[in-house]
Structure 1
Amino acid sequence: MSDTNPKVDAFIKSQKAWTAEIKSLRQIALDSGLQEDFKWSLPCYSHDGQNIAIIQNFKNFCALMFFKGHLLKDSKGLLKAPGENSQTARRFEFTSAAEISKLKTTIKAYIKEAVKAESSPAAKTEKKAPRKQDIPVEFKTKLANNKKLKAAFEGLTPGRQRLYLMHFASAKQATTRVSRIEKYIPKILKGLGMND
């Protein structure tokens, strides 16, 4: 078993939900020989310096996400993509510690496969370029009329830009799109992403 990280201990103590599930996933990862770290404010597990998996806690479920889950066979169809635009990440989603306990052997097998896949030539393959996100006309207008906003938006990482654009464009009505844009202008001007 690998060593525990005190930052993960503190994280677990701070959680109001999914504590038993996080502890179970942590134990499985450590028993599988992964090194524990605390990255992106979450328990993260690596092998030989390569990120393998991360424990995620959401409102409705707890997850163990494999960074390169697309390389796993997943013949049982247990892994889910975190979003429609996800190219490589795949995750197990759980709503109880009993589910995790039932799949313990399977989870360990997936971790073993993920470690092996990380050292394969396929792990080095290039990601496809993300689909170009259209800019809603309401946001185009705001950018054209506000140089500071345009500069701040262009200064964001491509992922942050894409997330904003997807959120703005997903509104069906123009008034909702404008409302969403107005709400997030202060964050954009500060150089922050939607979830920062």
Structure 2
Amino acid sequence: MTRAIEMAKYDPQVTDYIRQDTRWPRELRTLRSLLIGGGLKEAYKWRAPCYTYGDANVAMLASLKQTCTLSFFKGVLLTDPEQMLVAPGKNSQSARVLRFRSVREIEALESSVQRFIREAIEIEKSGVSVEFRQKDELEIPDELLQMYDQNPRLKAAFDALTPGRRRGYVLHFNGAKQSKTRLSRIEKSIPRIFEGKGIHDCICGLSKRMPRCDGSHSSDH
């Protein structure tokens, strides 16, 4: 009975994910044990191991080419005096990542990882959320505002996106110097926006780094 209860903590899809991994299976198993042992529930979301507390997504595991990563959705709120956590991208405001290249590295930081997990759970219990700067700083391009007038549903769909996805699109649109190019970028992005996808999200379902696209759709099968 005890073993049955223990096995129930592990999502079979995550087990398959780790079993099929050829880069960091031992590292993934080690981090998995720490996350579940820390009180998080395991799930398989966006084709990757995800760890939750209540209804909140707390952390994710990923097997990348150079490293195995443990990311915290609200990592920016974690206490990190040694600055071990890093932003996954230059415009990332919430998520923070730990990168590992061996089980030995994980074991050396085990107490810190456990502390991050405990604090991440306490953050969810408290209901604290990340205050995204883009809520006040997003400069919606005129071309998108004009498109809103033509298609009110587009504004509703854009506003329904997560703050990070909205910011990604605005950065993409405003990155074009000419109005014609900005308009072209917006028109090409409309199908994604209506699907609730971000500029870098996978839409083919083949990415191994869901929800982000890793180019798998262009791979030979």
TM-score (norm 2): 0.65
Secondary structure of the equivalent of 2:82? coil
Superposed CA RMSD in Å reads 3.4
**Which of 18, 39, 47 is residue 45 of structure 2 equivalent to?**
39
Q: In the comparison of the two structures, how many residue pairs are matched?
A: 190
Deviations 1:78-129 (A, max 9, x none): 112345555543322334544334322321232233334443xxx3235435
Structure 1 CA distance, aligned partners of 2:192 and 2:74?
A: 30
Shift of 1:25: 1.7
Counterpart residue number, 2:136: 131
Within-5 A mapping of 1:75-154: 75-83=81-89, 86-119=92-125, 123-125=126-128, 127-128=130-131, 130-140=135-145, 143=147, 147-148=150-151, 151-154=153-156
Are 2:171 and 1:169 equivalent residues in the alignment?
no
- Asked if 2 retains the 8 angstrom alpha-carbon contact of 1:8 and 1:43, the reply is yes
Structure 2 CA distance, aligned partners of 1:183 and 1:73?
A: 40
Secondary structure of the equivalent of 1:64? strand
Structure 2 CA distance, aligned partners of 1:56 and 1:68?
A: 17
**Which of 60, 63, 72 is residue 66 of structure 1 equivalent to?**
72
Shift of 1:33: 3.7
Structure 1 CA distance, aligned partners of 2:144 and 2:64?
A: 30
- Asked if 2 retains the 8 angstrom alpha-carbon contact of 1:152 and 1:190, the reply is no
Moved more, 50-59 or 163-172: 50-59
TM-score (norm 1): 0.71
- Match of 1:161, as an amino acid? R
Deviations 1:122-179 (A, max 9, x none): x3235435234212344445x168x34x523432324243321122223456565455
- Asked if 1 retains the 8 angstrom alpha-carbon contact of 2:74 and 2:130, the reply is no
Percent identity between matched residues is 36
Secondary structure of the equivalent of 2:113? helix
Structure 2 CA distance, aligned partners of 1:133 and 1:32?
A: 37
